[in-house]
Structure 1
Amino acid sequence: MTIRAILASALMAPSLMLAACAGGASSETQIMGVTWVADEIGGTPVLPDSEVTLTFNPDGRSGGKGGCNTYGAGYQRNGNALTFEQAMSTQMFCAPDALMAQEHAYLNLLPQVTGFERSGDKLTLNTPAKSILFHAKP
């Protein structure tokens, strides 16, 4: 190999790595950069006039609103495998009791998540027994 070929290869390598990284995840596997709004938690529709949200940050933290309180939880993702740490939340009390029960169910289900599926503006978080269904907030 000539010196010219070695130099050309060395100069091209960073460009090729950047191009590979720029491709990133497809829109069907991308979950960051979207505010997800829950439609159903463990088979139960979200209460009317309540909003349960989830956002994913690139630093491995997620968070949102549980319907009453705000929360945050670390997460790890590997392809479509996804796990959450136990969520930490503020401790406000909200009425009615059903709203608190919904938030409790959601925050207890998050650490059971083992993976996700995304289809367009729909996101499903799966546990061994139940799921949480979301749509992308417009």
Structure 2
Amino acid sequence: MWVKLLLAMCVLGLLVSGCAKQESGDDIMTQLTGTVWVAEMIAGKPGIDMTHSSIEFGEKGVVDGFGGCNSYHGSYTLEGDVVSFGPMAATMRACVDAINDQEVRFFRSLAEPQTVKFKDGSLLLIASDGKISKFSTRE
């Protein structure tokens, strides 16, 4: 009798875990779009306060934002939980070295596909080398 009860509990556990909600590409797209995401950390390093490197995902594969010194515009694709960015066009304003370094790091981080995760209201873009770019919503 205990064996049957244990077996029933195992089957029930498998059914419940199999039904657990996993984020689909549509769920991720809904969370990405309609928000200006401001960088707190770029490729594993903290962002400079008040530079507001940002990214805004549009619904039709368009991305816009501010690198820290220059505005940019480009494209992106989302396949499952992996986002890839197309070529970016940016303004060419001169920046002080520290902000320029951050902007270069920001644009380089967008040059490779990244896994999209959401944690505690933040957007995490995780590169293949494990470096994380963390974004929060602009308030």
**TM-score using structure 2 length:** 0.75
| Cα contact 1:38–1:133 (8 A) shared by 2 | yes
Provide closer, same or farther for how the CA distance between residues 73 and 131 of structure 1 changes in structure 2, counting only shifts above 3 A.
farther
The equivalent residue for 2:9 is none
The equivalent residue for 2:17 is none
In structure 1, distance between residues paired with 2:123 and 2:111: 17
Structure 1: which 5+ runs fail to align?
A: 1-23
In structure 1, distance between residues paired with 2:84 and 2:94: 27
| Cα contact 2:29–2:59 (8 A) shared by 1 | no
The equivalent residue for 1:136 is 137
The equivalent residue for 1:110 is 110
List structure 1 segments (4+ residues) > 3 angstroms apart after TM superposition. Answer: 24-29
Pairing 1:37–2:38 present: yes
The equivalent residue for 2:48 is 47
The equivalent residue for 1:126 is 126
Structure 1 vs Structure 2 CA RMSD:
1.9
In structure 1, distance between residues paired with 2:28 and 2:108: 28
The equivalent residue for 2:59 is 58
1:76 partner amino acid = T
| Cα contact 1:28–1:119 (8 A) shared by 2 | no
Structure 2: which 5+ runs fail to align?
A: 1-24
